[in-house]
Amino acid sequence: IDRIAASHGDGEHYAEDMTDPANWRAGDLVEVVSTENGDPLTVGDVATIAGDRVGMCIPVTMPHLPHCYFMMPKELRFHSRPSS
């Protein structure tokens, strides 16, 4: 059964449970829900997952950032998966 990414209501259907960060992949968009350690992102920002996890951290980037930043899954919420 396909699941709707109900946490954000984008109306898209995903085969995976998108509330589980293990199902996120590079290129997915995530919303920042909290920040720690002085990250330059703020709550409400929508960032792009930049690649594979490094340990528990997820690399994310935004157009205005000079490089990617590593954030914990608890700081992020799945937003959407752009069409390919």
Give the tens place of pLDDT for each residue, 6-56. Answer: 444 555 667 788 999 999 999 999 999 998 767 789 999 999 999 999 999
pLDDT, residue 8, reads 46
Checking if the pLDDT of 81 tops 90, the result is yes
Instruction: Give the distance, in angstroms, between the CA of residue 72 and the centroid of all CA atoms in the same chain.
Output: 10
pLDDT, residue 38, reads 73
pTM above 0.85, yes or no: no
**Residue 37: C-alpha distances to residues 4, 19, 27, 59, 71 (Å):** 32, 24, 24, 15, 9
pLDDT, residue 5, reads 43
Residue 82: helix, strand or coil by DSSP?
coil
